[in-house]
Amino acid sequence: MSVLVTGGAGYIGSHTVAELLAQGEDVIVLDNLQKGHSQAVLANKFYVGDIRDSDVLDTIFSVHDIEAVIHFAADSLVGESVQEPLKYYDNNVIAAQRLLTKMNQYGVKKIVFSSTAATYGEPKNIPIREDDSTEPTSPYGETKLAIEKMMKWCDNAYGIKYVSLRYFNAAGAHSDGHIGEDHTPESHLIPIVLQVALGQRQAVSIFGDDYSTEDGTCIRDYIHVMDLANAHWLALKRLREKNESGIFNLGNGTGFSVREVISKAREVTGHPIPANVGPRREGDPAVLIASSEKAKRELGWQPGFESLEEIIRSAWNWHKTHPNGYDK
Ligand SMILES: NC(=O)c1ccc[n+]([C@@H]2O[C@H](COP(=O)([O-])OP(=O)(O)OC[C@H]3O[C@@H](n4cnc5c(N)ncnc54)[C@H](O)[C@@H]3O)[C@@H](O)[C@H]2O)c1
Ligand SMILES: O=c1ccn([C@@H]2O[C@H](COP(=O)(O)OP(=O)(O)O[C@H]3O[C@H](CO)[C@@H](O)[C@H](O)[C@H]3O)[C@@H](O)[C@H]2O)c(=O)[nH]1
């Protein structure tokens, strides 16, 4: 039987495909390449198509014996979602509804879903636990939360079991050096900072320094993409062994401010990385730090890259060797 990975040409999806193949899984990728790269697809069964297209889903579910779906395909930028909420309801909520409809039609009963720390909004407690309140501050977080609720009701009605993984900030690249982060346009902090170190940008703009944090800039919990990839494999194993739904945070449990990330990147790259302070970006909570105790306890997950330095160094190795991403 096979595992269908939607968004498998994207950043986290491609690293997860690498992990699944290493674990001996038969993998099928579906990606419309709106953000992904065909060079990042390591599986040899690859459909270029859109998850909202029911004909493509019919073909995949009827040609292949799909046991489980790992669903990455989405729009995923906090700031953009505030400007274009309907795009997010379409590609996240409506697309997931179509995917779940086809899973139900073809009797596919397992899904691992890419959720996010953005479901929590401005947290009441730090570190954030899975049972803390969810009040998203952006349409992006709102649409991911809506999908979690959709999956809950689909479990109730049709017995489709889900594991929802609420990742904090993904960063880094594969240790083999063949895949990494390549978004156009890039909006994530670590790759932007490294593009400054490569001389591709003049400076990094800090989005607000008037938050109620020690240095005034936002604090995030950075997690290595290979640790995320491994968690998907463990989530799939749990679905097979326990046939039980669940929600898990994935982060390192330590927060770093935007200024701390820039300063660590200066150390790693040896470049002065100029930074300017700009206005806040709409939708950004001040502090997001995970408690991942539940994932450690129930999935047996253990991150391999726990320091910010290792994470930035891993990203730097990729960016140095692929200064233009996959089009080097
Ligand atoms: N990067 C992070 O820090 C982060 C953190 C939390 C959650 N997430 C979630 O993880 C998932 C993957 O994130 P990423 O950073 O790898 O993003 P990405 O943009 O690199 O990957 C998403 C992939 O999905 C594809 N895609 C998008 N819409 C599609 C559609 N309608 N049909 C088919 N393919 C489609 C894109 O082409 C892309 O290859 C997303 O769901 C995102 O919301 C990411
Ligand atoms: O040029 C930049 C880019 C980012 N930031 C700040 O850096 C932090 C991290 O931003 P970014 O790397 O864009 O990640 P987030 O907006 O935190 O979102 C990521 O992490 C979320 C989980 O926390 C995921 O849900 C999203 O999909 C993923 O994009 C935020 O405080 C930003 O305001 C800057 O100051 N300047």
Q: Is ipTM over 0.95?
A: yes
The binding-site residues of ligand 2, defined as CB within 6 angstroms of any ligand atom, are 76-78, 116-118, 168-169, 187-189, 192, 204-207, 218, 220, 258, 281, 284, 288
Q: How far is the CA of 253 from the centre of ligand 2 (A)?
A: 17
Q: How far is the CA of 10 from the centre of ligand 1 (A)?
A: 6
pLDDT, averaged across the chain: 97
Task: Report residue 271's pLDDT band, with 50, 70 and 90 as the boundaries.
Answer: very high
Quick one: average pLDDT of 156-172?
A: 98
Any atom of ligand 1 within 6 Å of the Cβ of 29: no
Ligand nearest to the CA of 5: 1
Could you count the other beta carbons within 10 Å of the beta carbon of residue 212? 7
Residues classed as catalytic: 140
Q: Which atom of ligand 1 is nearest to the CA of 117?
A: 6
Quick one: average pLDDT of 274-299?
A: 96
Any atom of ligand 1 within 6 Å of the Cβ of 222: no
Q: How far is the CA of 78 from the centre of ligand 2 (A)?
A: 8
- Beta strands 219-220; 256-257: pairing state: antiparallel
| pLDDT tens-digit series, residues 21-37 | 999 999 999 999 999 99
Ligand nearest to the CA of 46: 1
The protein residue with its alpha carbon nearest to ligand 2, atom 22, reads: 168
Task: Report residue 164's pLDDT band, with 50, 70 and 90 as the boundaries.
Answer: very high
The protein residue with its alpha carbon nearest to ligand 2, atom 23, reads: 168
Any atom of ligand 1 within 6 Å of the Cβ of 95: yes
pLDDT greater than 90 at residue 306 = no
Q: How far is the CA of 214 from the centre of ligand 1 (A)?
A: 32
Q: How far is the CA of 290 from the centre of ligand 1 (A)?
A: 20
What are the angstrom distances between the C-alpha of 69 and each of 1, 74, 95, 111, 224?
11, 14, 14, 5, 22
Any atom of ligand 1 within 6 Å of the Cβ of 245: no
Any atom of ligand 1 within 6 Å of the Cβ of 52: yes
- Whole-number pLDDT of residue 328: 61
Per the confidence metrics, is the pTM higher than 0.95? yes
Give the mutation target among 15, 19, 31, 250 for probing the ligand 1 site: most ligand atoms within 8 A of CB: 31
Give the mutation target among 71, 102, 114 for probing the ligand 1 site: most ligand atoms within 8 A of CB: 114
Q: How far is the CA of 224 from the centre of ligand 2 (A)?
A: 15
CA angle 308, 173, 95 (to 5 degrees): 110
Percent of the residues in the chain that have a pLDDT greater than 90, as a whole number: 99
Q: CB–CB of 246/171 below 8 Å? A: no
Q: Which atom of ligand 2 is nearest to the CA of 219?
A: 31
pLDDT greater than 80 at residue 239 = yes
- Whole-number pLDDT of residue 244: 97
